[in-house]
Amino acid sequence: MPTTVPASHRDLLSAPVGSLTTIGADGGPQATLTWFVFDEADGHFKLSLNTDRLKTKNLRKRPQVSLLIPDPANPMRFMDVRGHAHAEPDPDYAWAVAHVNPKYGADVREFDAPGSERLIVTIEPRNIYAVEIPG
């Protein structure tokens, strides 16, 4: 399967949210909506996640993830990015402020409790499924 975003679905890189699915301790899926940024330089998808969240704890133990990005105008058109995630610290929110805040016009620091920490989560695609179901 392809590991690059096909031209037919590149517009979804500016979609408002994606659904990140991680694998829970019981082996079941855990899905949540999240903001994402696509890094053109390396073809990876990046997220800014709080270290206290279940999705973050899941992916640190089991790095297989899926990021489903729907077309806001057509729910039958979407892109499913499946791959492995790895996390690294984001001291002082530097990466989030530089990359997430501009895309979403919001400051992620406002969503965290005092003393919270953020991670830069990088998803390295193993498969990218671009889907459009005729209606």
Q: What is the pLDDT of residue 133?
A: 94
User: Strand, coil or helix: what is 4?
Assistant: coil
Residues of the chain with pLDDT under 50: none
Q: What is the pLDDT of residue 135?
A: 73
Count Cβ neighbours within 10 Å for each residue of 48-70 and write b for 16 or more, e otherwise: bbeeeeebbbbbbeebebbbbbb
Tokens coding 18: 């994606």
How buried is residue 32: exposed, middle or buried, by Cβ count under 10 Å (0-12/13-18/19+)?
Answer: middle
Cα–Cα distance, 39 to 52 (Å, whole number): 25
One DSSP character per residue, 33-92 reads EE--EEETTTTEEEEEEETTSHHHHHHHH--EEEEEEEETTEEEEEEEEEEEEEEEE-GG
Whole-prediction pTM: 0.94
Q: What is the pLDDT of residue 3?
A: 84
Fold designation for 7-132: Pnp Oxidase; Chain A (2.30.110)
Work out the number of other CB atoms within 10 angstroms of the CB of residue 121: 25
Q: What is the pLDDT of residue 2?
A: 66
Distance, CA of 117 to chain centre: 17
Tokens coding 106: 């919001």
